[in-house]
Structure 1
């Protein structure tokens, strides 16, 4: 596959240090894409997992090395920490070896769209009614990932491509869908308050691109279940990609860039 040059990449929820991180797919994605800017939208290193399990294979080193190599070769690398790497927030506005650490990051697309990136854990109170329900959700999700890990191993042995059982099960759970909807609405409302055209987040491991009235909601997904990334080309068009054995474009929305250009033109008039 020929290396594709793009303007911007948003990825999040890599969870390096976690047994469920799909580092091999991520390395292949990075190998096949060059970008002017890469925005890491939180949960890059899973400090929660590392606190209880010393899991760090060579492939996770290779991911870090690949990202740092891009930064030293001229790619702008912006790191917006999440809840699993929250301690990095103590170093906001610091630059570490050409890595910019920011609490939030606003990007201007080639189409003139103001796109705010933030991890999304800031909206947990809009999704969970109490700390107890949040803990219960974490435990349930860990079980889902455990099941998904063994499901993936069985599919590999049978010669099938990757398919997330965890994502399928979540899609059938009514309370999970309600929580996702609440999260998306809270993110969109925050974006409106900030006066941006679009907002990128991760956190909930549910990739999506959708217009929510007057704002574009973008969730770049994760590299635990979905292996997804958001990519902007040099015309300002944004795609949501899934990168497994069967790489595909989940959503291709060039019309959204055109809408954004018209919106800015109307404002200027």
Structure 2
């Protein structure tokens, strides 16, 4: 029976999620749990802010689904999935455990993933690039008053939509995309990330932090942001041919963007400290 169930799951060489914010009331843990139960992967990357320690210090909140997400991740590790955790700013306490393994989960400050197309991607959470966006309060992390207001609107909009049979919709993302200063801050963050990828001479960079899912190619660098599970409900996946896709997973599931990285010109490589097979 187990083999039959597993046969129905989509298998990926690698999957990236970040900014889950377990312990925060707007975390969409149910959607994430459905996603995790629907896939198998060789390597699962947790790209920071998985647990929101900041939020829980202000007000403790822990829905049963939040525990189920952690249990699902640990079970994947026990079943043979390689799980690599890159702590973010909201769970920075776990940075004290860099280069250690906790309950079968490897903890790293950053990481180099090599795709099936032999392209090298730098993995970081992204808070190191805050200096590029610090001037803008509209793009601040969860906890900022302006962002909390967007999430308040998002929460009540979807409650009303659900009453009338509508599917999940990220009003917060819609508003941010139409605020000029927010767009400027997002662009500045992306530029800083691409600059870091060039500096480390990799083919691309995968990060989270700003809750803005995106795949784009600029100057032969593939910029990928896996989004979040507060607004966007998105994850990045690698196909067997090395293609990177950005998936949305809520009441409906769809591919939002993709990048055929096989056409990217590989820069002169430097020997990484660590790399994934």
TM-score (norm 1): 0.93
Find the aligned partners of 2:176 and 2:250 in 1 and give their Cα distance.
20
Find the aligned partners of 1:12 and 1:253 in 2 and give their Cα distance.
19
| Residue 252 (structure 1) shift | 2.6
| Residue 150 (structure 1) shift | 1.2
TM-score (norm 2): 0.90
2:94 to 59, 69, 88: 88
Matches within 5 A, 1:88-237: 88-129=94-135, 138-237=144-243
Cα deviations by residue, 1:139-178 (Å, 9 ceiling, x for unpaired): 2001111121111111111110000111111111000000
| Residue 204 (structure 1) shift | 0.4
Find the aligned partners of 1:73 and 1:137 in 2 and give their Cα distance.
35
Q: Which protein is richer in helix relative to its size?
A: 1
| Residue 98 (structure 1) shift | 1.1
Find the aligned partners of 2:245 and 2:201 in 1 and give their Cα distance.
23
Counterpart in the other structure of 1:259: 263
| Residue 215 (structure 1) shift | 0.6
Q: Tell me if structure 2 keeps the 8 A contact 1:119–1:203.
A: yes
Superposed CA RMSD in Å reads: 2.1
Question: Structure 2: which 5+ runs fail to align?
Answer: 270-277
Counterpart in the other structure of 2:24: 18
Query: Aligned to 1:125, what secondary structure does the other structure show?
Result: helix
Query: Aligned to 2:144, what secondary structure does the other structure show?
Result: helix
Q: Tell me if structure 2 keeps the 8 A contact 1:112–1:264.
A: no
Query: Aligned to 1:44, what secondary structure does the other structure show?
Result: coil
Q: Tell me if structure 2 keeps the 8 A contact 1:3–1:33.
A: yes
CA separation of 1:265/1:224 partners in 2, compared to 1, >3 Å: closer, same or farther? closer
Q: Tell me if structure 1 keeps the 8 A contact 2:17–2:45.
A: yes
Q: Does 2:264 match 1:246?
A: no
